[in-house]
Structure 1
């Protein structure tokens, strides 16, 4: 078990574990069968744009299943409320996220541009089903992601947060990156602001 963290809004503690240690059926329960998560399976940053459409939903799901066979390099954590899986967080070496190398928004803004550096880990995605939102699941996952990255040799953890206060309304679909407040609550510092509603967040573990 990675952590057991008391949720500010929910008296029962949330349990966070490496997704590789959980039944894949629990991962499937979080990603669901509809909406963006079911058509991505946390593969967006891992597949070059020219290859994306050729993989298909089933191929994306099987890619994640295969990646979970290598728990020492991520790629994610699951949060539980009791025995119910309530959220997912992607955390793994940034070098695994090949599409970051093509992203001007991210790769052009991070103060640590060596995307092949194995000591830099990324928290790139959150999935919390609608029924379990506003209960501190993202907070618990962010804090556990730091612990998991540290235990696996990371010296720096980076996130690509949305700032919901930058505009009157941010589409819920855009919040899969996590919010600035979630990262700040886990000890991250804003190191770059590529645009008004996106911030590069970092937490150095070797300081």
Structure 2
């Protein structure tokens, strides 16, 4: 299997949509909840969340990366500088642990019909490589550490084991919870 990761650009928008919203439902997730408010959605694209995300796909750096298995879009990872994610930046529950200018992963998605095939690891590795290529010095994520199985029907914040597998270390905890579990602060420092 060949796995490639590419930044979301206007030319790759349909691939992104195939992963996060294959039925193109207007009220379904377009990976905007942490990035912009309802008012900003209207400013960017009228009433369309899809159009707002299309506008964000034109920005540099891209709001995330798409993973392809043998040319088929199968994964999405929302990754960008923490400062480009206003709701995370303003969060009183997920505060920065220090002054390091981190990039943040706020969600990962593996497309329905393609899960449990080992795509998450190369997707995350590609996301970290993308951040490094853009000059990032560190990448953070805020996963949970579940005792058992998690409901993974939609995008999720990830698990501790998932991020440890690609070189992230726990550096703290947050005051936020997901699925009634505390969220961790995990970081991977990058060379440079």
Length-normalised TM-score, structure 1: 0.76
Once residues 37 and 178 of structure 1 are traced to their aligned partners in structure 2, the CA distance between those partners, rounded to angstroms, is: 25
Shift of 1:137: 1.6
- Contact 2:36-2:86 within 8 A present in 1 as well: yes
Which of residues 12, 33, 53 is equivalent to 1:23? Answer: 12
**Long gaps (5+) in structure 1:** 1-11
SS at the partner of 1:43?
A: coil
**What number of residue pairs does the alignment pair up?**
186
C-alpha displacement at 1:88, in angstroms?
Answer: 0.6
Kept after mapping to 1: 8 A contact 2:104/2:141: yes
Structure 1 pair 35–136 and aligned structure 2 pair: CA distance change class (3 A): farther
- Give the gaps of 5 or more residues in structure 2: none
Deviation at 1:123? 1.0
The Cα RMSD (Å) is: 3.0
Q: Which has the higher helix share?
A: 1
TM-score (norm 2): 0.82
Question: What per-residue deviation string (whole Å, max 9, x for no partner) do you get for residues 62-83 of structure 1?
Answer: 122112112x412111111212
Return the alpha-carbon distance in structure 2 between the equivalents of residues 145 and 199 of structure 1: 19
CA distance in 2, matches of 1:23, 1:206: 29
SS of structure 2 residue aligned to 1:177: coil
